[in-house]
A and B are shown apart, each in its own frame.
Chain A
Amino acid sequence: MHIPDGFFNSVTSAGAGVAAAGGLGVALKQAQAQLRERHIPLAGLVAAFVFVLQMINFPVLPGVSGHLLGGALAAIMMGPAVGVVVVTVVVVIQAFLFADGGVSALGLNVINMAVVTTLAGWVTYRLVRVPLRSTRRSVLAAAFVASVVSVVASAAAFVAEYAVGGVGGVDLTAVGLLMVGVHVLIGLGEAAITVGVVGAVLSTRPDLVYGARDLDSASAAGRLSNRRFVLVAAAVAVALVGLATVASSNPDGLEWVAQQTGFAADATESVTAESPLADYGAGGLGSGAGTIVAGLAGLVTVSGVGALTLAATRRRRQAH
């Protein structure tokens, strides 16, 4: 997910840099009251924790691995404003100290991995919790859904940016379906880690969880049973497979997004000529065949989620 230099054209990179700086400025202002002296070490700790977890790759499919982005976790633990600040610090340090992600692509990386993940995660978390009672279970369920959504939103942001100013040469629909499909799986891994962390902290130090301030310590305690964990995972996976099926049978949604972002309608000749959509109609396989192949790839990928979840459930039953 760390975008290197040269992956996006300079205008897009610069624009993303300005947008990221603006977003960070707003987050810093919002976080000011919360980030008093005592909380700076805690914020640094969450940042280090996210950094270390990002170094662990977990397998999602044979040959494909993903790593934690941490936006939803940071938002639930520290609130959306501090969450954006913390994950931004991680991304900036990765670029300057560890050469992970290009310096010119810093704005894009901050937007995708810090701003979009944290905000999408937090909004989803709040929305899921609205109809639910204030219990440990609803906090964890909301954390699960929020994590998956945050990762998929990050992938979607990448696809939207790619439509605006990617290096091109590839059919946009294929890029979109591949990115979103793979990231649904990565999102499930992310969700497992987020739920594990939030659950463990709720059990011992509920005062540390910003998103669960409404819980009293009695309802925060408890252990998440294996079976319930798998049931929640399965429910989310089934819902996502349903969504993805709708999306892949209607892949023009991505083209619509590209047009809405404004480059298709009033772009100059040379800009459109370099854009991935310019060749959309006459893609490598012919537009019809290309779309169908991409759609099938997306379907197969997301169906894998269901199969893997079922396999996991079965293995657990045998184990017990």
Chain B
Amino acid sequence: MAGGHAHALHVHGHSVVHRLPPHLKVAALGLFVVAVVVTPPSAVWAFGVYAGLLVVVAMAAEIPAPFILRRMVIEVPFVVFALLLPFVGTDPQIEVAGLVVSEPGLLAAWTIVAKGTCGLVASILLAATTEVPDILAGLQRLRVPGVIVAIAGFMVRYIEVIAGELARMRVAMAARGYEARHLGQAKALATSAGALFIRSYERGERVYLAMTSRGYAGTMPTFGAAPATGRQIAAALVIPVLAFSVALTAQVIR
């Protein structure tokens, strides 16, 4: 597989963020997001601080800003939903910049955009600085059941295989003048999905047999991750501790 263990969201690097043990990064992401979610949305300044923390991490990890901005496109459907809220929301209506909008709707829109964006950028930073096997190993260290991690391991390996197969089928269909339009074409999409499944499954069987013949016995060997040092734990805790202080302050001075 060309590209080795890299995936679309990963940015190769050797920064301090890249080198942190993955389970600490996953835990730090979880704690940071919890801090963001419990922050009252009326504390606008707090979200400014969170954004600042994320910028600091991104700079320390040497992740280029355009990369993060491109990945944020995934948020668009919910931003569209959020932008609708002020106009369809409930009373009381207020006037903002010449437009009459719903006050609860406006607050809800701000909540979704602010918290959603902070969580999204934090997740992008984790994926950008951690390779797939490391994220899986990190999840395992955080007591995610082994079966889940094993299935996830196979899944991320098969994704490229299946996506490649799908791309070849699409090229073949396009070359024969096929163009999907709407519901009427559902049957074509459905049968090609069926063919895709059979092809992928039979490839999966061959992969399984190949692995068995090379000594696979149900688990992948892990190259004993070194336990985290005190300094690493301290480094990983910096951002969550700051975020929780901000969340607490915002709660108190509300």
**Which A positions have Cβ atoms within 8 angstroms of B?**
4-7, 9-10, 13, 24, 28, 31, 35, 37-38, 40-45, 47-49, 51-53, 55-56, 58-60, 85-86, 88-90, 92-93, 95-100, 102-104, 167-171, 174, 188-189, 192-201, 204-205, 208, 226, 229, 233, 276, 279-280, 282-284, 308-309, 311-312, 315-316
Contacts and interface: CB of A to CB of B under 8 A. Distances in A.
6 contacts: A95-B123, A98-B9, A170-B90, A171-B88, A171-B90, A308-B182
B215 to A, nearest CB: 13
B93 to A, nearest CB: 8
Contacts, number: 264
A169 B89 contact: yes
Given A6-B37, A226-B187, A283-B91, A201 B198 contact: yes
| Most-contacted residue by chain B among A35, A41, A44 (CB, 10 A) | A41
Across the A-B interface, the 3 shortest Cβ-Cβ residue pairs: A6-B115, A44-B154, A196-B190
Contacts of A198: 194
Given A99-B71, A169-B85, A284 B30 contact: no
Interface stretch (B52-60, B99-107, B228-236): B99-107
Contact of A85 (B33, B111, B132, B148): B148
A283 B89 CA distance: 8
A85 B104 CA distance: 38
Contact of B111 (A53, A102, A167, A197): A167
| Most-contacted residue by chain B among A51, A88, A93, A279 (CB, 10 A) | A93
A127 B126 CA distance: 43
A279 B104 contact: yes
A255 to B, nearest CB: 14
Contact of B208 (A38, A96, A229): A38
B165 to A, nearest CB: 9
Nearest to B126: A96
Contacts of B118: 5-6
Interface of B: 7-9, 26, 29-30, 33-34, 36-38, 41, 71, 74-75, 78, 85, 88-91, 93, 102, 104-109, 111-112, 114-116, 118-120, 122-124, 126-127, 132, 135, 139, 144-145, 147-148, 150-159, 161-163, 166, 180-184, 186-187, 189-198, 200-201, 204, 207-208, 211, 217-218
A93 B218 contact: no
Contacts of A90: 155
Given A89-B151, A169-B104, A284-B102, A104 B218 contact: no
B88 A170 contact: yes
A201 B193 CA distance: 10
Contacts of B150: 40, 44
Contact of B189 (A60, A169, A193): A193
Nearest to B197: A197
Contact of A192 (B36, B120, B186): B186
B190 A6 contact: no
B151 A282 contact: no
Name the prevailing secondary structure of the A interface residues. helix
A40 B116 contact: no
Given A37-B217, A282-B91, A169 B207 contact: no
Contact of A45 (B9, B89, B158, B217): B158
Contacts of B132: 97
Given A7-B116, A197-B193, A308-B183, 17 more contacts: A4-B112, A37-B217, A37-B218, A41-B207, A41-B211, A43-B151, A47-B151, A85-B147, A89-B148, A96-B139, A99-B74, A168-B104, A197-B197, A200-B193, A200-B195, A284-B89, A309-B183
A200 B198 contact: yes
A45 B200 contact: yes
Contact of B9 (A7, A13, A97): A97
Contacts of B155: 44-45, 47-48, 51, 89-90, 93
Contacts of B197: 49, 197, 200-201
Contacts of B93: 284
Contacts of B145: 28
A170 B82 CA distance: 11
Nearest to B81: A7
| Most-contacted residue by chain B among A189, A192, A229, A315 (CB, 10 A) | A192
Contacts of A100: 74
B47 to A, nearest CB: 10
A53 B165 CA distance: 12
A201 B187 CA distance: 15
B50 to A, nearest CB: 11
B159 A51 contact: yes
Contacts of B116: 4-7, 102
| Most-contacted residue by chain B among A5, A168, A284 (CB, 10 A) | A5
A314 B147 CA distance: 48
Given A51-B159, A308-B183, A284 B90 contact: yes
B166 to A, nearest CB: 6
B129 to A, nearest CB: 12
A195 B111 CA distance: 40
